[in-house]
Structure 1
Amino acid sequence: MARKNLTFHLAERPKGNIVPGKTFNLVETDAPTADDLKDGQLLVENIYLSLDPAMRTWLYDIRSYTPPVAIGEKMRGGAIARVLASKSSKAKEGEFVFARSGWTEVAVVGEAEFDTIDLPKGTQLTHAIGAAGMTGLTAYFGLTEIGKPKAGETVVVSGAAGATGSVVGQIAKINGARVVGLAGSDEKCKVLTEELGFDVALNYKAPTFAEDFVKATPDYIDVYWDNVGGDILEKALARAAPHSRFVICGGISGYNSLDQENHGIRNIFQVITQRIRMEGFIVFDYRDRYPEGKKQLGQWIAEGKLKAKETIVKGGLKVADAAMSSLFDGGNTGKLLVEVKPIDQEEVSRYVTKYLAR
C-alpha cells in the first residue's frame, strides 16, 4: 500500500489570527517515492518543522522580502528532515538535512532546497534549525553587523524569551554588554536571568513596566533589538542614548494586522534628536557568510557560552496550524518546533556522534 502524505495548503488569507481548520486545508495524498526523483534531488521525511513569526507575514498579498504564499499553495517552511532516498552527491540515504520542504510529511527537494548539517561536538540536531541555524544566524548577523555592542554598553532586547531574542541577549553578554530583556511573563523573565545570563528581565505586561523600564536603563539604551514594534518600540526610543543603534528585526505585535491601518511611531523624532541609527535587515542578505556564523554559533553552544531554548510541540504535522498561535500568545519559550514524526533520540545521538561531532 502506498504511503500517505499530509500537506497544509493555504486556503484563505486570514484576517487577524490564523484559524486552525480554516486558514489552511490539510490534504492527504499518496507520498512521493524514490521513483519520482530526478538527478540532484532528495526524497525526505520531515522530523522537526520550524515555526517562526515571519511566516504570518507570508500570508499577506503585500510587497515584502519574499513573495506571498499563493492560495492553494503548500505552506512554506524549513525542517530537519531524514533522507529516504538520494540522487544528489551532497547527501545520502539515512542522513539528516535542513530542508525547505514546507508543511508536509514527505517531500522531494532539489539541491537549492536543502543544506547539509555540520555541527560541532556538544550540540544537538535541533540546534541546526534553531540556535545554530537560521534563528541563530539572524541574531548573530543583526547584532554583530548592525547593533555592534561594546563592552559596558546597555543592550535591550524585546521578545527576549523568543527564538531570536534569547540568542541575541546571550551574544550581547558574550560581547561584554549589560543586557535587559523584555518578555511577557514573570516565568519567562526568570528563565532569562537565571538560565540565560541576562542582567535584568522585565515583564512588559506588568502594571509597573513603564517605571521599571526607566529604572533598568539609567544610562539609557545603546543598542535596542526590536522583535515586537508598537508601544514597546516607542518606549525604547524615549530611552535611547545619543548615537544608539536600533536593530529592527521584527514587529510581531502587528503581524496579525498588516492588512489594516497601522499608526506610525509617535516619537520617531527621537531618531533625529538622539542621532539614532535605525536599520531593518533580513538574514538572507548575509547568505554568503552563513558558514562563518554557523561555525561561531556552534562553537559557543559547544563551549556552554550559548544556551538553546526550545519548545517542541508533539502531535504530528496536523497540529502545525494550531501551534502557530503560540508565537502570538506567548505560549513558547525559545525556538518553536513541531515534531512531525517521533524519532528515537538514541538514534539521533548515534548519528550526531558518528557524522556531525567530528
Structure 2
Amino acid sequence: MAGGGDDAAAARNKMVVPKRHVTGFPTEEDMEVVVGTVRLGVPAGSTSAVLVKNLYLSCDPWMRGRMSRHDEGATAPGLDFVIGETMVNYGVGKVIDSTHAELTAGDLVWGMSGWEEYTLVTQPESLFKINHTELPLSYYTGVLGMAGLTAYAGFMEVGRPKRGDFVFVSAASGAVGQVAGQLAKIAGCYVVGSAGSDEKVDLLKTKFGFNDAFNYKSETNLTAVLKRCLPDGIDIYFDNVGGATLDTALLHMRQGGRVVVCGMISQYNLEEPDGLRNMFYIIPKAVRVEGFNVGGYFHMYSRFEEEMAGYIKEEKVVVVEDVVEGIESAPAALIGLFSGRNVGKQLVALARE
C-alpha cells in the first residue's frame, strides 16, 4: 500500500471526451481527444484508490447508448457520458500506485477504466487481477474479459445448451458472437452464424469452426436462408442485433427454444426502433425469450477465467482481434463498429507490455 501522490511527478494524459449528445448515427466529430496532466500517484488521503496506466482499451457497441441523453427514469439514468468528461469502458492496465489492500504497484488488472492514458480508479473492487499473463494481455479486453464473460453467461447460463441443439448466432464474428459460437461447438451443438461480409463468413467457417454461415447483407430473403442453413429450426438463437433478424428468427424457433437477447446493434442508432411482428409464435412453441446483463454474472468470473483460459490453451477457442494503435484512433474505431468495419474484437493499444 502506497499513496501520497500529491508529491509525485506529473505526466501527460490524453483522453477521449464527448463533445455533444448524439441522436442517430454517431460520428468521429462527436468526440475529441484532449490533453491533460495526471499525478503519477494516488492522492494523499485516499484510503482505497488505484492509479492505472492503461495498456489496452475496449471498443464495444454498448457505448453508443451512453452517448445519448436519457430522461430521468430511462433505462440508463446517470450512466450517460458527461460532455467534456472522459468516456469510460473496460480496459487492461498496470497499477502505478495503490492504497487498496489487494492491489500493489506492478499488478496487471482489467476492469472499468477511462478512455485515457492514466485512470484513477476510486472503486478498485471493480478491477480484476489478471491471472494468466502467459496469454496476450489484450485478450482481457475481449475473450477473457467482459465480452467473453457475456458470451459465456448468455450462452451457458441463459441459453442452457444441450448436445445436438441447433444454434444461430447473429453478429457472429464480433467479440461476443465469436466466443458464443465456439462455446456452442464445445457443447456439441450445430452452429450457424451471420456476419456482414464474405471475409467474415469465411472466418466463421474456417477459423471459428461454425458448421455454416451467411452474409446477411447479400441475402435478400432471411427466411429462405434460415430455412436453408437450419432446415430443422433453431433451438437457441443468440441475438446480438435485434430488429428484422430477431423477428425472422422467431418464426424458425423449435419447440421449447430459447432466445438469448444479448444486444441490438441494429437498433442503437435509430430514433424510432423497429417493432416485432412475430411475437405470437413464442406461444404455441413455448419459446423462452430472455434478456440479460453481464453485470449480474461477475460473481462467476474466476470460474469463467480458468475455464476459458483452458479452452484457449487447448485451441478449442481461437481469437481474432482488430487492433488500432494510439488513443487518437479510438473515436474512429468506435464508430466503425456500427458499419461492421472491424474484423474480430475491436480494441485500442496504448502501450504494449
Q: CA deviation at 1:127?
A: 1.6
Residue in 1 that maps onto 2:125: 112
Q: Distance in 1 between matches of 2:67 and 2:39?
A: 26
8 Å CA contact retained: 1:247, 1:278? yes
**Does the residue aligned with 1:274 lie in a helix, a strand or coil?**
coil
Gaps of 5+ in 2: 1-8
For 2:266, what is the secondary structure of its paired residue?
A: helix
Superposed CA offset, 1:91-139 (max 9, x none): 3223321142211111211323422111275x32122221111111101
Of residues 113, 116, 127, the one that matches 2:139 is 127
2:33 to 6, 23, 26: 26
CA 1:35/1:272 → structure 2, altered by over 3 Å: closer, same or farther? closer
SS at match of 2:27: coil
TM norm structure 1? 0.89
Q: Counterpart in 1 of 2:346? A: 336
Give distance in 2, aligned partners of 1:157 and 1:120.
30
Distance 1:89 1:333 in 2: 39
Judge which range, 162-171 or 330-339, deviates more: 330-339
Aligned to 1:232: 245
Alignment of 1:1-358 (within 5 A): 2-21=10-29, 23-34=30-41, 36=43, 38-62=46-70, 63-64=74-75, 67-110=79-122, 111-119=124-132, 123-210=135-222, 211-257=224-270, 260-314=271-325, 316-341=326-351, 343=352, 348=353
Q: Matches of 2:96 and 2:111 in 1, distance apart?
A: 13
**Could you state the TM-score of these two structures normalised by the residue count of structure 2?**
0.91
Cα RMSD, aligned residues only = 1.8
Q: Would you say the 8 A contact 1:119–1:128 is kept in 2? A: no
Q: CA deviation at 1:179?
A: 0.1
Structure 2 Cα separation of the partners of residues 263 and 124 of structure 1: 39
Q: Give the direction of change, closer, same or farther, for the CA distance of 1:254–1:35 in structure 2 (3 Å limit).
A: closer
Q: Deviations over 1:151-193 (max 9, x none)?
A: 1110000000000000000000000000001111111011111
Structure 2 distance, partners of 1:205, 1:320, is 26
CA distance in 2, matches of 1:80, 1:251: 26
SS in 1 for 2:48: coil
Q: Is the 8 A contact 1:202 1:213 kept in 2?
A: no
Looking at structure 2, the residues matched to 101 and 221 of structure 1 have their Cα atoms a distance apart, in angstroms, of 38
Distance in 2 separating the partners of 1:140 and 1:113: 19
Distance 1:125 1:215 in 2: 40
* Cα deviation 1:324-352 (Å, max 9, x = unaligned): 122111111221101123x2xxxx4xxxx
Q: Which runs of 5+ in 1 are unaligned?
A: 349-358
Corresponding letter in the other structure for 1:42 = V
Tell me if the contact between 1:203 and 1:209 (Cα under 8 Å) persists in the aligned partners: no
8 Å CA contact 1:153–1:177 kept in 2: the answer is: yes
Distance in 2, matches of 1:229 and 1:306, equals: 26
Shift of 1:205: 1.0
Question: How far 1:48 sits from its partner (Å)?
Answer: 0.6
Does the residue aligned with 1:322 lie in a helix, a strand or coil? Answer: helix
Amino acid in the other structure paired with 2:255: P
2:6 alignment partner in structure 1:
none
Q: Across the two proteins, how many residue pairs are aligned to each other? A: 338
Contact preservation (8 Å) 1:46, 1:81: yes
The 3 A distance-change label for structure 1 pair 158 and 200 is same
Query: C-alpha separation between the residues in 2 aligned to 1:230 and 1:39?
Result: 47
* Identical pairs, percent: 37
